[in-house]
Amino acid sequence: MLNKRFSLSKENSNLVPDGLQQSPLCHKFDTFLPQVKPAHPLNSCEHDHLHHKILNDLAPLAADLGLRFARTLKRYDYAQAHQELIDIHKSLRIEDLNLCDGTQELKLKARAYAARCRLTRQQFKNPEQAYQQCVQLAKRYQLTSPSIKQGDLIAALNRLCCERWWFRKIKVLRLRSIEAVARNIELVSRASSEYASQHAIKLNKQQKIQNRIYLSSTRITNERGESYTLQDLADRSVSNPTVRRAELMVRIRGFEVVAKLLDHVGEFYTLTTPSRMHACLKRGVNNPKYDKTTPRQAQDYLTHLWALMRSELHRQGISLYGFRVVEPHHDGTPHWHLMLFMPEEHKTVVRQIMQHYAFLENPDEPGAKDHRFKALSIDPNKGTAAGYIAKYIAKNIDGYGLNQTPDDKTATEAAERITTWANTWGIRQFQQIGGPSVSVWRQLRRLDKAEDEELEQARKAATASDWAAFMLAMGGIQISKKNHPIKPYYAYGWHLDQATGEITQTTKNRYLEPSRQRIVGVTSKGIAYDSRKHFWTVGENPDYSPKNLLAELSALSEAPTLIRSSKRAAGSALNASLPRRLRARHSTPRGGNRAGGVPVVNQQQINLSSGVGDCVRGEACGDSAQPPAPLDLDLDLYQ
């Protein structure tokens, strides 16, 4: 009987010597055929040296790669285990860029690449030629080059010459590449680590502490002398999980109230991806159908399906309103939950349209009919619409009000893993469908009493946290956004000169391109209402002493250098899992900090300035004459 699991792959078919060709209908373990042992291009000693060189390069993953090598060797054969290790090394070692290096090493690489672009800019007098050369450099390291906006080539070139731009891109590439490898080698599953790998979780915790250090050590003061730390303001905004969850529930409840007034019905849909996008099966082993699709690509697939559904609904004159929640399966593959309201006569048509597009790809594969698309009518006798989706809101934010999950992980830990997953892959967890702008809602809550009666009615509803009344004040659910009576007001940021009293607008960013206007108020009947009331200056927090800073940094003493636990555990796990002839001493150099460990911070190195034109021509971004700071707390580097 044939056994495909042990058949040689096409990539390894050249390992069989000429003259001993094997029938494609039989595999290499058939006893009635001459046994042919693959001839490896390297001898055993060279293989041993290569394997340990790879594990040294990929030190943060060394323990798990060793276990994976032994597991693949047991399941399949040596050739596949060897090739998988080579492929992982190629994906994480891009020429001279090692994505497993620590944060400081990556900053040095970013500075070197930016300097190379500045040198190229000086060599090529034609900006277009210089831009093309710099784009090629970015492509070599698998980075997306900045696009040319409105024909402004200089701004795009300035970005390529900026080490901040390079570091942000490299940091995202590092996190997602390592997480993709973790999913491929069964490190993200119900059997190991749900939703996100331990490496990503540790990095996310470290990032949160770094952000909190910056926010707590920075104070803003207005012209009246009122002063707050950035952390105080963040705790009062939707950045606070509690505030974010409360606002979402208020908006969902408002949709439900309006639906009752209009005699609309609620539907709860679940939309998942084809099996080829799932990395692992339920028991935690690799899915044989998996095609290396990342969660980001799977999210793009679902977004495309939803665009097709909405287009068809629009052609048939059907408008929906509600919310969409994205959450991961145990292996990190996203799926959608949608709570939508509509007239009852549209319910059947909406189900047919969504089901049609959900089954466009592989509709007959096993499990598709049971899992690809689910529809559930919301029964008011069993519970409210807000109650249907409240569990998913809490589960994906902070786990508030939920009991322990079936696998004995607390709801808070599960929520932390899910937020880590969303941050890693850049996936928007919650999205409102239909209804008025939430930006207008937030700006109205900042305004004082208005003389305009229509504006005042919407402002009172927003201030009272009544989303249903706010929707009615904005014209109801059927009106399009372009016809809303109140719209967001966009303007440039402003700056007050304390000495002269002159107010200036920030119309250019650091790359000398027009700054993006941001929402600063609302407009109604052609009149702009600016919600900004004060001029703020940024400075250091005198109450935040270096002792407090170092106390918070002490939590970072154990850098996420290994997915398992420590370097010693990595070496022991590696030697215990590998075949005897592959066992050797494996360690990281003493004092090494290969996965972003945080040394002691000098408070004088915290730079809060962000001047314009730091990256123009041959100038470096920031103070390049100084050595890199042990820890850069500038938020621009961590967004």
pLDDT digits (tens, 9 = 90+) for 442-481: 999 999 998 999 999 999 999 999 999 999 999 998 888 8
Contact in structure between 125 and 157 (CB atoms under 8 Å): no
* Model confidence at 593: pLDDT above 70: no
Q: Exposed (0-12), middle (13-18) or buried (19+): which is 618, by Cβ within 10 Å? A: exposed
Domain with CATH 3.40.1310 in the chain: 264-433
Nearest Cα to 606, choosing from 536, 532, 541? Answer: 541
Is 392 annotated in the active site? Answer: yes
Which CATH architecture does the domain made up of 264-433 adopt?
3-Layer(aba) Sandwich (3.40)
What would the pLDDT profile of 479-516 be if each residue is shown by its tens digit?
Answer: 888 899 999 999 998 887 777 878 888 888 889 888 88
Contact in structure between 343 and 260 (CB atoms under 8 Å): no
User: Model-level pTM?
Assistant: 0.79
Contact in structure between 450 and 529 (CB atoms under 8 Å): yes
Query: With pLDDT > 70 as the criterion, what percentage of the chain qualifies?
Result: 77
What would the pLDDT profile of 345-363 be if each residue is shown by its tens digit?
Answer: 999 999 999 999 999 999 9
Report the relative pairing of strands 486-491 and 518-524 from DSSP bridges: antiparallel
pLDDT, averaged across the chain: 80
3-class SS string, 406-467: CCCCCHHHHHHHHHHHHHHHCCCCEEEECCCCHHHHHHHCCCCCCCCHHHHHHHHHHHCCCH
> From CA 233, how far away is CA 239, in angstroms rounded?
9
N- to C-terminal Cα separation, the chain: 55
Q: Running DSSP on this structure, what letter comes out for residue 14?
A: G
Contact in structure between 322 and 255 (CB atoms under 8 Å): yes
Q: Which of 214, 392, 489, 544 is catalytic?
A: 392
Q: Which of 269, 388, 489, 544 is catalytic?
A: 388
> From CA 368, how far away is CA 272, in angstroms rounded?
9
Contact in structure between 342 and 264 (CB atoms under 8 Å): yes
> From CA 152, how far away is CA 248, in angstroms rounded?
39
Query: With pLDDT > 90 as the criterion, what percentage of the chain qualifies?
Result: 58
Q: How confident is the model at residue 403 (pLDDT cuts 50, 70, 90)?
A: low
What would the pLDDT profile of 616-636 be if each residue is shown by its tens digit?
Answer: 444 444 433 333 333 333 333
Amino acid at 272: T
> From CA 273, how far away is CA 368, in angstroms rounded?
9
Angle formed by the axes of helices 103-123 and 153-160, nearest 10°: 140
What would the pLDDT profile of 512-528 be if each residue is shown by its tens digit?
Answer: 888 889 999 999 999 99
Residue of higher predicted confidence among 247 and 610: 247
568, two tokens: 């010693």
> From CA 513, how far away is CA 260, in angstroms rounded?
49
> From CA 229, how far away is CA 214, in angstroms rounded?
10
Residue 386 neighbours by CB under 8 Å, 6+ apart: 249, 252, 253, 256
pLDDT of residue 20: 29
* Model confidence at 18: pLDDT above 70: no
Is 113 annotated in the active site? Answer: no
